[in-house]
Amino acid sequence: MTHDFALLCTAVTTVYSDVLKTEDEKKLLKKLISQCRAMNDTRVKVVHGQLFPADDGGWVSHRSRQNLKLENTFGMAALQEKQAQDGVGTFIGLQDLLSRFLYEDAATTTPAK
């Protein structure tokens, strides 16, 4: 079974917003998920668009499924490199935030008899 990445981002935000304890944690989750969505937007353009290599990093021409408008994104090499580097921090941030909840939950749960 496959699901749309944006839908999975919405599911994570909805579920964890209900269980995270502080507003700061909830704001951090929304920020991290927003970064994930931005990386996915770039991925969609690359995978479903047409890449035009050039000395300036090239560009991707992509037509949106939502409004069928053609969009050109320039400087793709630099954009992808930045998102790859930032993605490591985003992954670590999500892992840290969500594992705090999981470990706290496990520590407060009593084993079944």
Domain membership of residue 53 (yes or no) is: yes
The answer to whether position 107 is within a domain reads no
Per-residue pLDDT reduced to its tens digit, 43-85: 999 999 999 999 888 999 999 888 999 999 999 999 999 999 9
* Residues spanned by the domain of 62: 5-102
Domain count across the chain: 1
- How much is the pTM? 0.78
Q: Considering the domain boundaries, does residue 113 fall inside one? A: no
Determine the pLDDT at residue 1.
45
- Could you please report the per-residue DSSP string of 10-52? HHHHHHHHHH--SHHHHHHHHHHHHHHHHHHHHHHHHHHSEEE
Average pLDDT of span 77-102: 90
Q: Is 108 part of a structural domain of the chain?
A: no
Q: What is the mean pLDDT of the chain?
A: 87
Q: Is residue 109 part of a domain?
A: no
More confident: 98 or 104: 98
CA-derived radius of gyration, the chain: 18
